Amino acid sequence: MKFINSVFDKEKGTSEVTMEHMGQYFVGKARLHPDDKDKISEYAGCSYAEARATIAALKYERKMAKEKSENIRKFIKACECYKNWESASPAAKVAYRQLNIYIKRVNHLTEMINDMMFALDKSIWKRDVTIKAMRKASQKS
């Protein structure tokens, strides 16, 4: 994955990050909550936008891997229809191995996407809790 560009607009409270992956461009966006205007952070906004762009790129990669594994599965299924097909032959084993490689890749990408989405949600939640705690502390003093 290659970082292309990052734009932060303090007036609007928006961040936008562009990433390139597998020849495609992916844009992640983040918007400041209106209640948090006093705690605006370019770093937080751009990091959230970058995480969203990365998730979009991984989803695209997973989609490509799913299509490839589905094509291999269909090929194997078509080959199994022939009476001369031997499941124990070296050629068949190669085909099965390729299918398993792509299935594992899809599963790994799914786990990565889920982990990143969870981490992003947790990061946003932590920042929110921190800002609320800071506001309460400043109101007490």
Give me 2's structure tokens.
Answer: 């290659």
pTM beyond 0.75: the answer is yes
Res. 111 pLDDT band, cuts 50 70 90: very high
Phi and psi dihedrals of 15, rounded to 5?
-130, 145
What does the angle CA 115 – CA 117 – CA 122 come to, to the nearest 5 degrees? 95
Output phi, psi for 98, to 5 deg. -60, -40
Contact (Cβ atoms closer than 8 angstroms) between residue 16 and residue 27: yes
Work out how many domains the chain is built from and give that number. 1
Give residue 101's pLDDT: 95
Provide the residue range defining the domain that includes 39: 2-140
Whether residue 141 is predicted with pLDDT greater than 90 in this model: the reply is: no
User: Looking at residue 139, what is its pLDDT?
Assistant: 86
